[in-house]
């Protein structure tokens, strides 16, 4: 299973095969990288598929959603998973906050062996068609958003003082951390062989810490470049040594940036950082 997906034909590359379809259709292209999508018509159009899982664990479910004429509101598009006895084990609203733009929906759900599940994606009552693509279900040791949140929390004031955010913004699915997460996944070879793009499904548990270190290093280097253009400020008895922050960041990353990083693959070195207002010393 090269694509690492427990759902068959989740990218809808040529058709909607392997999916049960009601009031839905295939579209060959959308003018962007989503070349092949499922189009759910208003008033209950849906696609569904049965699947099973190999072991009991927490799985990641990903669905790309694009509303055509207006943004989605709560309840207009849903995803539901039932077990073999017809019990609903998971149900949630899908989000699409921007008109005619793709939004990544990422969901964590615990599933077990010994039953056949059915997933249904439905346009409940949106006023127009909804496009669906890149539906996949797989175990990942840590999702992209969880990676971004972990690094943001670890950096603490360094991140908040520069207004870094993990909030979705257009194509920046993890906000300020999107490109750093991409770099971290590339650093450990977590690349989808079909798309040649970073893909969290190819992140192995044993490579997780190395990927986290790489993401943190990318953000620290970004902060270092940011502070490199700052100047020290002195107003009366108050001084702010912003250049000292840039120097400390350089020390944290070992003075290495970009492609000139140490080949040793060492961890980030954290040293005490003086940060804030300082009294003028004679």
Helix (H, G, I), strand (E, B) or coil at 66: strand
Regions of the chain with pLDDT less than 50: 1, 257-266, 268-282
Q: What is the dihedral of CA 128, 134, 140, 143, to 10 degrees?
A: -50
In Å, how far are 60, 91, 137, 182 from 109, measured between CA atoms? 6, 10, 10, 24
- pLDDT at residue 56, as a whole number: 97
HSE, side-chain direction, 13 A CA sphere, residue 233: 10
Q: Dihedral sign, CA of 206, 209, 213, 218?
A: positive
Q: What is the dihedral of CA 184, 190, 192, 196, to 10 degrees?
A: 50
Kindly report the CA angle at 149 between 108 and 227, in degrees rounded to 5?
160
66, exposed or middle or buried, with CB in 10 Å at 0-12, 13-18, 19+?
buried
Domain coordinates in residue numbering, the chain? 20-138, 144-279
**Cβ 136 vs Cβ 7: under 8 Å:** yes
Residues 6+ apart with CB under 8 A from 18: 7, 8, 9, 49
- pLDDT at residue 111, as a whole number: 97
- DSSP conformational letter for 43: T
The secondary structure element, H or E, covering residue 109 is strand 103-111
- pLDDT at residue 232, as a whole number: 55
Strand ranges across the sheet with 238-240: 233-235, 238-240, 278-279
**Cβ 54 vs Cβ 72: under 8 Å:** no
Kindly report the CA angle at 161 between 156 and 167, in degrees rounded to 5?
75
In Å, how far are 16, 47, 260 from 42, measured between CA atoms? 18, 13, 53
Tell me the fold of 20-138.
Jelly Rolls (2.60.120)
The secondary structure element, H or E, covering residue 242 is helix 242-252
């Amino acid at each position: 299973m090269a694509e690492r997906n427990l759902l068959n034909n989740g990218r809808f590359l040529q058709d909607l095969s392997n999916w049960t379809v009601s009031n839905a259709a295939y579209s060959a292209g959308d003018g962007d990288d989503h070349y092949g999508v499922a189009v759910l018509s208003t008033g209950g159009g849906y696609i569904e598929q049965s699947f099973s899982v190999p072991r009991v664990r927490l799985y990641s479910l990903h669905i790309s959603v694009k509303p055509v004429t207006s943004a989605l509101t709560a309840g207009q598009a849903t995803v539901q998973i039932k077990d073999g006895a017809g019990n609903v084990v998971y149900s949630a609203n899908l989000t699409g906050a921007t008109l005619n733009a793709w939004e990544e929906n990422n969901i964590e759900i615990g599933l077990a062996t010994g039953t056949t599940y059915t997933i249904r994606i439905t346009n409940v009552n949106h006023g127009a068609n909804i496009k669906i693509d890149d539906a996949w279900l797989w175990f990942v040791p840590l999702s992209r958003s969880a990676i971004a949140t972990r690094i943001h929390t670890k950096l603490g004031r360094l991140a908040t003082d520069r207004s870094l955010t993990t909030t979705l913004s257009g194509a920046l699915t993890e906000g300020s951390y999107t490109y750093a997460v991409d770099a971290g996944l590339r650093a450990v070879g977590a690349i989808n062989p079909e798309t040649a793009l970073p893909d969290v499904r190819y992140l192995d548990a044993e490579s997780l810490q190395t990927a986290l270190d790489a993401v943190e290093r990318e953000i620290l280097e970004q902060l270092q470049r940011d502070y490199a253009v700052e100047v020290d400020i002195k107003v009366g008895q108050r001084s702010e040594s912003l250049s000292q922050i840039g120097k400390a960041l350089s020390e944290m990353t070992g003075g290495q940036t970009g492609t000139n990083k140490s080949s040793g693959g060492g961890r980030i070195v954290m040293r005490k950082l003086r940060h804030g207002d300082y009294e003028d010393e004679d």
